Structure formats: C-alpha cells, structure tokens
Structure 1
Amino acid sequence: MRQGIALKKIVEYVARKASMLGQKYNLEDLVTPSIVPMFDKSIDKIVSIIVRNSNGLWCGLCEKGPFTKRGLYLHLIRVHSKDIEYMVHDELKKLLEVVKK
C-alpha cells in the first residue's frame, strides 16, 4: 500500500518536473537516500521522453500540444499517469538491481 502511494507521488513529481512547475515533494522523501542521485538522472531521462520543448510544450507520448505549463501537467496526470508510472517502475527496478550487485 505504501509503495503505491509513493509511486503516485513519484509520478506527480515527474509530471511537475516535465511541466517545469515547482515541486510539492522532495525526492529524498520519496525514495531511499542511497539511490537519489541515480534516480534523479533516471527521472531526467524520463522527462526528456515525455516532453518536447519546441515552440511551446508538447507531449512526447502522444504529440499533442502546445500546452501551457499547467496544461501539460494536467494532461500528463490525467491521460498518461499509467504510462509514467510504468516508466518510473521500470527505472526503479533497474536501479535496485544495480544497487543489489
């Protein structure tokens, strides 16, 4: 249960970062402190996939746009939250495998 809540907060964190909005949460509060630097790089990689910044903000997943910052955030949360959740879960799994070794 706690993992699901944390994952939803991470999805919101990613959507806010992609939309260039201020953050509600600190990444250190959402994941283990030992993986924060590596996970921050993974989030940057995810952000580069889900947002395209040419003549406005465009969704990199469905190519809709242009959006305002808030509009992109709402679009990502309402339409692509499961996609972002899958991407975050996949990145977390990769990081935890690296840390275990």
Structure 2
Amino acid sequence: MASVMEYHVVRYIVRKALRLQVDEAMVSFKDSIKAARFMRENPNFLVKVKKGMLYCGICGRGPFTRRGLYLHLMRVHADDIARAIESWS
C-alpha cells in the first residue's frame, strides 16, 4: 500500500461496509464523503451475503464472521481496494 492515508481510507471503507465500529476522526471529511459514494455505487464490491453468510466480494472466499471478513479484506485485498478507490475517483 502506498501511503498511511490510503491505509486509513481502506480501513474506514472496510469497517463501514461490515458495519463495524468506526472512528470518524480516522479520515478527513472529504475522504469520508468519497468512501460513502464509493460504497453506494459499488454495494457488493467488498461483501456478498449468501443465505445469511458473509463472503468476500472480491475473491468469493467464505463464509466469514464480520471480524474474519474484515481481517481477510485488510490482509489479502487492501491493495486491490486502494487501487479500486483510486481508479474510481
């Protein structure tokens, strides 16, 4: 991952997508607006729900708990998510 700021934006988006507790001070207001628009326009990019179970929207692995999917996305797909956000905006 290129920068600490990108890491915080990716972390913010993943936590929002999984409805985990988010520290709003983690990212700037501008980045939080961008993250909200990204998630609204790409609702199944990170998380897919099949029969009530959570699966990775990028690679299809699962099922996961919310915490497990958070760890998977941050460890395996953080760079992919950062590139997707960068190319989208």
Q: CA deviation at 1:90?
A: 1.5
Contact 1:18 1:73 survives alignment (8 Å)? no
Other-structure match for 2:88: 91
Pick the aligned partner of 2:67 from 57, 67, 70.
70
Identify unmatched segments of 5+ residues in structure 1: 93-101
Contact 1:58 1:66 survives alignment (8 Å)? yes
Q: Number of matched residues?
A: 86
TM-score (structure 1 length as normaliser): 0.71
- Per-residue Cα deviation, 1:78-100 (whole angstroms, up to 9, x for no partner): 010110010111123xxxxxxxx
Partner SS state of residue 49, structure 1: coil
Query: What letter corresponds to residue 58 of structure 1 in structure 2?
Result: Y
Other-structure match for 2:14: 15
TM-score (structure 2 length as normaliser): 0.79
Query: What letter corresponds to residue 10 of structure 1 in structure 2?
Result: V
**Residues 26-65 of structure 1 aligned to structure 2 (within 5 Å):** 26=25, 29-32=27-30, 36=33, 39=34, 40-55=36-51, 56-65=53-62
- Per-residue Cα deviation, 1:32-55 (whole angstroms, up to 9, x for no partner): 37x82xx21213334421210122
Q: Say which one has the larger Rg.
A: 1
CA RMSD of aligned residues (A): 2.3
Identify unmatched segments of 5+ residues in structure 2: none
Query: What letter corresponds to residue 41 of structure 1 in structure 2?
Result: R
